[in-house]
Structure 1
């Protein structure tokens, strides 16, 4: 039974992550570009996204004020496929990463319930932290390749590296440790996961209480129940992303090729001194537009699969 439950959480996590990754890939590409050091930061997060040459050098151009204009700029200059750069390694990585994540979270929560007050905030936060640590440690090489692919800027029609070519080039230039650049920033981002799950599990518990008092509680879960879970997940992820976002910018900078960014705190200091504290929130808008619906899709899909295939 324990093995069946673990496999169920692995399967549900993998399916939910795959669905979310495909739907939100263009926003992921835009967010990564905005986080990089190859863009000039303008007041109120305005950037010269459309002013990049094929080599990534900034030249005079039109200031790009919004997410839609940013996506349009990539589409016009680099073609439709550039909006899905990194989707290959994302799909290769997202299913196992979400599977590892949700399975680790479920197992950790089960063990921690025996040590702390069952289903308390401490249990949810610690379980989320353990799950995030395991996932980040195992999947960082895949996300490193994805980020490098998303940062590659070439005009439409020019040949771009695929995931395997990118991995080979990375290994040739930086060795095996190059695949683990940005890992410290990912560990710092565990706080985001912990905050997200704390809020989500609290909301989920309150929703379950409301459902149990409903006249239709014996009829099982309906569409509205999963929509409520979707909204709870979206709200939780939105709050957590805003609070812990700076680690995302630091992680992207650490993963840039041949950059001056070497370590977590050194990168943070450089960004603050050279660009100001506003730079820590570059790409936040597309991140929220991507993460909020993605979290809703991932969590509700996961809950639905567990409900359908588990013991109701």
Structure 2
């Protein structure tokens, strides 16, 4: 069975990517909150035995069920355009790098590097705010829920530089994007050859690729969270290298994998839902074009 042609132009990929990212973010939001708290050094310190269940119980009992969707607004503000850019950049990148004698592997690798770099550069400020919304409390111990308040606090304390926190770790994390997209293409090709093309098969390939990529590249997530978690000159984690060294000294190698389980529970279905939604919307758009 031949693979259907993807519609040309920017709009189909922008629209489908944005919707896909939004749907996946809403469904997996609770695990995103729990994962961020487990990664942080401010919630449980350096204790490594708190676990997913305890973190979930503490969040709900102290703050209510709304705590599981804390930061969702700013997450959607970042994820919807981010995923629109993600899919569009990757698709256009493949077209760009197809010129010449490059192998399919090289085309996919170059396109994924471009995709990761573009996304990290423009979306980092939004995710700094989201991380601090999920972790910080005000002077009375109440959760800091306001996007505006968190943004102003960051600017007042650190200036524009504060919005670049964790960007170094995010650039290191481009390796995860590269692994995930390259493996997705390889897994998808193998599955399509056996079972034929389709949204579900694409989603299965995406889930498998993301599982491997996240496990390999996970430490950058912990370091990125810690670089973003607090503002001001007195913060403990100041640079990528220093954060890696301090985390390893205090917690060992396990510290670099804090929150991995909820992260896998979140990103694997998130990736599958996102690619499934993306493919379904593209099919609908293709039908409308006939």
The one of 289, 298, 311 equivalent to 2:274 is: 298
**Pairing 1:46–2:49 present:** yes
* Greater Cα radius of gyration, structure 1 or 2: 1
Does the Cα contact within 8 Å between 2:199 and 2:280 map onto a contact in 1? yes
Match of 2:223 in 1: 250
The one of 262, 275, 280 equivalent to 2:251 is: 275
2:102 match: secondary structure = coil
- Measured in 1, the distance between the counterparts of 2:167 and 2:147 equals 19
Gapped regions of structure 1 (runs ≥ 5): 48-65, 213-220
Moved over 6 A (4+): none
- Measured in 2, the distance between the counterparts of 1:92 and 1:11 equals 15
1:46 match: secondary structure = coil
- Measured in 1, the distance between the counterparts of 2:154 and 2:101 equals 44
- Measured in 1, the distance between the counterparts of 2:144 and 2:244 equals 30
Query: Which region of structure 1 is more displaced relative to structure 2, 199-208 or 172-181?
Result: 199-208
Match of 1:25 in 2: 29
Match of 1:196 in 2: 180
Deviations 1:84-110 (A, max 9, x none): 111010111111000011111111111
Match of 2:130 in 1: 146
- Measured in 2, the distance between the counterparts of 1:20 and 1:163 equals 21
Matches within 5 A, 1:1-312: 5-38=9-42, 39-42=44-47, 45-47=48-50, 66-117=51-102, 120-153=104-137, 158=142, 160-211=144-195, 225-257=198-230, 258=232, 259-310=235-286
Calculate the aligned-residue CA RMSD, in Å: 2.2
Does the Cα contact within 8 Å between 2:133 and 2:143 map onto a contact in 1? no
Tell me the number of residue pairs that the alignment of Structure 1 and Structure 2 aligns. Answer: 279
Deviations 1:65-99 (A, max 9, x none): x4233212200011121111110101111110000
2:144 match: secondary structure = coil
Does the Cα contact within 8 Å between 2:15 and 2:84 map onto a contact in 1? yes
Match of 2:3 in 1: none
- Measured in 1, the distance between the counterparts of 2:62 and 2:253 equals 30
User: Structure 2-normalised TM-score?
Assistant: 0.90
Does the Cα contact within 8 Å between 2:7 and 2:282 map onto a contact in 1? no
Deviations 1:274-312 (A, max 9, x none): 221110000000000000100000011111212221368
- Measured in 2, the distance between the counterparts of 1:249 and 1:158 equals 24
Does the Cα contact within 8 Å between 1:10 and 1:102 map onto a contact in 2? yes
User: Structure 1-normalised TM-score?
Assistant: 0.84
Does the Cα contact within 8 Å between 2:71 and 2:145 map onto a contact in 1? no
